[in-house]
Chains A and B, each alone.
Chain A
């Protein structure tokens, strides 16, 4: 059953079309990332779902209950949707427990407050002022506060962007565990590909106010629906090729797959899927190449290779063995490649 359903959402601010025909279906209990560059409309989408903004057009329903649509607008306080803000937006005049109890209304159930604080690992901090907490702790208070009234859906706006890089990976895992423990449907907004790919079950890539592609992290990364998605999710090489009978020929030789294409196509391959060695494994067709330049990053190295056709491609390899400009090598595709019809 689909928990959240957005159909044809539109929202403009003056002349700016922030959300322009966005549709999205989210499964019950899923964690979905809305991934896109800044200004793509992902935060506006979140605010439309929360009810902080009214859509100009389109419908939103949660669990089959219509929330926004023609003639329908449920105010945010009646939506049962929890929100975690980018800057946390904690109540500075309440302590930690007071923040968590706020959404439970008068005569708040102390047991529930303790339960949620326990869940986020702040059981001992209930009577502390929120201003004394570290960024990571504040974020967990914001999460606990949003979860306390047991909402159907929780929305998180750039939840990890205010945290130190060193904390971020750890907090991401913790948040994912907490969301799973509460079995709540979550949508979170991020501009960070790594964050989206590592935390979400489903990634919706948003550009210019609409969804470009929805899929598992693996799908959107290795089988991008178009060049824009491919480029946004990381470095990628685009090689012109010709498709005939399920096989595609390009500067890197022939590759086969289940593509139903014919004629001019683009082959999309990520640098880490381009293997390099002096001699390739015996069963691999490989192409000759010359190392033109090399950047060393410690854990890995990026090689720029010139192919016999004169085209250059990049290959990301582990840091060792080291290659040097002038080395003559063989290069072959060793990993997923995607083929798109030429526009």
Chain B
């Protein structure tokens, strides 16, 4: 078990170590490459986008969470579901929907044409990237804030009100401090998402870290430049993660009273419910209804033309194959790592678990690039094979499987395993007859999560897929990035439909 876990974790961390070594080995070349790439302005631009998107997601998510948890907003359940759903839309599909609807020659112009509008102002670049990323990542803040609001003991607020504070003061002095950790956690997810996003920024033609890396790699085969930028981006993300862990509040915020938490009294909105409804409707309209409507519209248009059904089916098949394999391998690798971490706690097993998480802190494009170098120089036989792509997915998404498997293993009492031992079964027999069956729902959920995430992955697929191995994600991106909106519509709907299934399975279990 120790050996298996160690080997798996080392394998997961190896390509990244290799990337760092390549960059370090390039020495002055790397420094020169970073200089050429006008790195300082790139860093500033990426950080500006990250900050702007994070601020906007907080501005949307906090009121939305409060409205759906603590007020008598009509249709709260419906708004809750509608507000979370945009999370399943990959950023490149979102960007595609927005640019094809609101772009200079998009659907909005067609609608406005009778009014004499010939051309809308371009939204490409910063505004488009900002809008897209905000609309499709705000649920990452919404979910933890909602959870925190529901955990917040209403007695604290009642006590403050009883001390003569106004409701606005109570919100500022009691509620907000309790929400701060959740907002911070959500913001961290958003920042990491924005920094590592490739789909939205590439379609919106915003020059970010990831697009620069991709351009350098693809156009000029400038490997040292791409590797240096990738290493810098990885370092930037690790710095953000480290800062977050340093500043994470050590203040303990607990429910103060023993006993069962009462559900809070809902705040009556009164006349304010109309602006509140308008706000919820506007968010759902832009983040959910608009993309779906656009996709359906383009699909209908393309059906009346000539659809290359064969290509779509092949793409869907490839998507299913690569993601399915990744889910299978990740779930199988997650079991020994989780068993090691939970049952054989030691500094070594903690290191194994942490190493297996490396991939999660890094953008897909960095991991993909690392594997390109690793593949071409160390294992050329594997370069541009399906195995390499699946390996990249496993490196990127193994932590999802490990997390869920670990959680389900924690619920299995070691006493139950000991009981099985005392009844005459060896360690492997116990794993097969007791631990295995008990954690299988968790392993399955982990596999579903990996599948769901891998099928949407874009940059690693673009870089590592064997030549001619088109998936739904690459089909959509290639069609959209050259303005063939009709061609991307049906693959997008297919992708959303495929990824909705495991999501349903995951949520139906709760």
Interface, chain A (partner B; CB < 8 A): 50-52, 75-83, 85-87, 89-93, 102-103, 105, 142, 145-146, 149
A-B contact count (CB 8 A): 63
- Chain B residues within 8 Å of A, Cβ to Cβ: 413, 415-416, 418-426, 429, 433-434, 437-438
Q: Are B418 and A76 in contact (CB under 8 A)?
A: yes
Residues of A close to B423: CB separation below 8 A: 77, 82, 102-103, 145-146, 149
Whether the pair B421, A91 counts as a contact (CB closer than 8 A) is no
| A103-B424 contact given A50-B418, A52-B418, CB 8 Å threshold | yes
What 6 pairs between A and B have smallest CB-CB spacing? A103-B423, A89-B415, A76-B421, A83-B422, A89-B419, A89-B416
A102/B438 in contact, CB under 8 A? no
A149 to B422, CA, bound (A): 10
| Best-buried of A77, A79, A87 by chain B (most CB within 10 Å) | A77
A93 CA to B424 CA, complexed, in Å: 18
Task: Please indicate the chain B residues that have their CB under 8 angstroms from the CB of A83 in the complex.
Answer: 418-419, 422
| A79 and B420 in contact, given A85-B415, A93-B437 (Cβ under 8 angstroms) | no
Taking the closest CB of chain B, its distance from the CB of A107, in whole angstroms, is: 14
Nearest CB of chain A from residue B419's CB, rounded to whole Å: 4
A102 — nearest CB in chain B belongs to which residue? B423
Quote the shortest CB–CB distance from B117 to chain A (angstroms).
65
8 Å CB contact of B421 from A52, A86, A105: A52
List A contacts of B424 (CB < 8 A).
Answer: 77-78, 80, 103, 105, 149
Residues A91 and B434 in contact in the complex (CB < 8 Å), given A102-B423, A103-B423, A149-B424: yes
Across the interface, which residues of B come within 8 angstroms of A105, CB to CB?
Answer: 424
Contacts of A89 in B (CB 8 A): 413, 415-416, 418-419
Closest to A154 in B: B422
| Chain B residues, CB < 8 A from A86 | 415
CA distance in complex: A172, B422 (Å): 23
Name the B residues within 8 Å of A146 (CB-CB). 422-423
CB contact under 8 A between A76 and B422, given known A92-B438, A93-B437, A93-B438: yes
Q: Is the CB of B422 within 8 A of A87?
A: no
- Tell me the nearest residue of chain B to A105, going by C-beta: B424
Query: Which of A51, A93, A145, A146 has the most chain B CB within a 10 Å cutoff?
Result: A93
Among A52, A79, A145, max chain B CB count under 10 A is at A52
Taken together as a complex, chains A and B put the C-alpha atoms of A81 and B424 apart, in Å, by 9
Known: A52-B418, A76-B421, A149-B423. 7 other contacts (CB 8 A): A51-B422, A52-B421, A83-B422, A89-B415, A90-B419, A91-B419, A103-B424
The answer for the CA separation of A322 and B418 in the assembled complex, in Å, is 54
CB contact under 8 A between A50 and B422, given known A87-B413, A87-B415, A89-B415: yes
Beyond A87-B413, A89-B415, A93-B437, is A82–B422 a contact (Cβ under 8 Å)? yes
Residue numbers in B under 8 Å from A149 (CB-CB): 423-424
A92 nearest CB neighbor, chain B only? B438
In the assembled complex, how far is the CB of residue A283 from the closest CB belonging to chain B, in whole angstroms? Answer: 58
A65 and B419 CA atoms in complex are apart in Å by 22
15 A-B residue contacts at CB 8 Å?
A51-B421, A77-B424, A79-B422, A82-B423, A83-B418, A83-B422, A87-B415, A89-B413, A89-B419, A90-B419, A91-B434, A103-B423, A142-B419, A146-B422, A149-B423
How far apart are the CA atoms of A258 and B433 in the complex, in Å?
A: 60
Residues in A neighbouring B416, C-beta threshold 8 A: 89-92
Residue of B418, B422, B424, B434 ringed by the most chain A CB atoms within 10 A: B422
User: Max chain A CB contacts within 10 Å: which of B413, B418, B421, B423?
Assistant: B423
Q: How far is the CA of A75 from the CA of B203 in the complex (A)?
A: 61
Do B421 and A75 have beta carbons less than 8 Å apart?
Answer: yes
Which residue from chain B places its CB closest to the CB of A84 in the assembled complex? B419
Smallest CB gap from A100: residue in B: B423
**CB nearest neighbor in A for B420:** A102
> In the complex, A52→B427 CA distance in Å?
12
Which residues of the partner chain A approach B429 to less than 8 Å between Cβ atoms? Answer: 77
Q: Find chain A residues with CB under 8 A from B422 CB.
A: 50-52, 76-77, 79, 81-83, 146
CA distance A91 to B425 in the complex (A): 14
With both chains docked as a complex, state the minimum distance between the C-beta of B425 and any C-beta of chain A, in angstroms.
Answer: 6
CA distance A169 to B420 in the complex (A): 29
A67 to chain B, nearest CB (A): 12
